[in-house]
Structure 1
């Protein structure tokens, strides 16, 4: 009869799991701890009944979100693909390639010092681009920028940005004699009479705009010089969910109005009329109109719009747009 082997006091069985024991670490995506996690893929499809076109975007981030690859294209009801675009973007470099036109647009931006940034863009097919240097002066609120076209056709454009606006100075060609002169453009904002006054000067035209706004009302008159084109906008809020807007142009006598009613963030109803095109319309948004499809229920946004011409009601049209996102 074989002798029984005495138990080894140095060997102890593993302790049994208890309720207080932490759960084991989950295996990484892909089912193997030795394989890297597959980057998430985002697919967005949008259909517009007015153009009868589908718009598609397929994108994914890789290298721990250091870069993003995106493919976009559209197709009609016959399945014909058009306008395919491929884009690779990162923090310092972006590449946009047109697969139909066989053209690439390259952009780059990076810091070359604690208060100096370099920016460049180049169109490969047109052999044109732009380079710029941006310097922070007395803090990030004050910037000075020098930018020039490539190949250069004159002096670089100088832009000074400050908290109340910006002013730019550039060389401009005048007439067929290629006479060059300096051109000044700029925009300045300031508080005036409990409102904000904005003056914008561009291409020898001055636009003056005043905005008065409180919790219930906004009044926005504007005038352009030297054309003396006068217009104003009026907005009235009747509550947290109802708002009326009205625009009138004195120069052309055209006007338009829009009434909005919100039900939370997921539903928005709008109705309006535009006298320039003599068209009345009504639309319903399901999903936040200004938000992304990611924040909408089921990651889907829908808009229905009814257009009714004033002179021909029989030619009224009902259109809709649907945008859906999938995260794979």
Structure 2
């Protein structure tokens, strides 16, 4: 502060020069999640560095005895990501960058296994792009090629299959070109979807209005037919049902919500002959930072149909602290 020689004049205060943003101590976020089914704690510490241009993250698991497992340090930025496993002493590297407008190159590499892949994607038109992916080291003559367009995508990939030679009675690896494709589009009042992969064709139709969703599907050549049905009884209540004609498998789920923070769900699964009910506090699909007190919790009761005495009560809690 500068004091003037004239006492009647105003006092001039010189503001303190602020330190650069990248020199400030980064805020640390601590997230812990406990799952009673596995009796493990999942912990994550993260902070943003270099004026939020990158993030450092430490994640690990520990049990109730304090034993630490799967420790991993990650460096995450827009163009480079590195995940380092402290136990395996191995690093997974991922990088991506745009070499020209509409031309993106990305690469992934496993340091310990000495394998990876390189991908190049080119935008051909709005909603249409061509993607070429080659493994490193490459054993195929042609890269995996994927063409994406507004109504689906088509992929071509060269794989090896073994052919038995009659004269020498040996298996010889021969190249084989496999095709996979997805097509989707508007049909009547719903969306039609066709997916082809490994000589299997799955046809799926989805009809949806404000109250009802009906989704039949069939797989060929197995002719496995199934359908799912969803009915909304109001803004807070919804019933879902799935039935598979090939295996007689079915399941049903009832859901009741109170705002975005509270949810009750109950259902039955015929494959494992199990009934269950759960309560969610906090958005089930959201992050802990958006939940009240930055904490999410689920309490689930499982009731086996064949042995009601072996019922189990499971708890999952996720809490976040900002330091």
Provide the aligned length of Structure 1 versus Structure 2. 311
Aligned equivalent of 1:107: 94
Aligned equivalent of 2:106: 119
What SS is found at the alignment partner of 1:178?
A: strand
Structure 2 length-normalised TM: 0.92
Aligned equivalent of 1:149: 135
Instruction: Give 1:302 deviation, angstroms.
Output: 0.6
Residues 22, 50 of structure 2: 8 Å contact kept: no
Structure 2 residue 84 is matched with structure 1 residue 97? yes
Residues 109, 120 of structure 1: 8 Å contact kept: yes
Q: Which has the larger Rg?
A: 1
Q: How does 1:1-328 map to 2 (within 5 A)?
A: 11=6, 13-15=8-10, 36-139=23-126, 141-154=127-140, 155-175=142-162, 176-328=171-323
Instruction: Give 1:14 deviation, angstroms.
Output: 4.2
Distance verdict in 2 for CA 1:51–1:11, change over 3 Å: same
Structure 1 length-normalised TM: 0.91
Unaligned runs of 5+ in 2: 163-170
Instruction: Give 1:147 deviation, angstroms.
Output: 0.8
Instruction: Give 1:24 deviation, angstroms.
Output: 9.5
- Residues of 2 paired with 1:272 and 1:289: CA distance? 16
Distance verdict in 2 for CA 1:79–1:113, change over 3 Å: same
Aligned equivalent of 1:3: none
Unaligned runs of 5+ in 1: 1-8, 18-22
Instruction: Give 1:132 deviation, angstroms.
Output: 1.0
Name the Cα RMSD after superposition.
Answer: 2.1
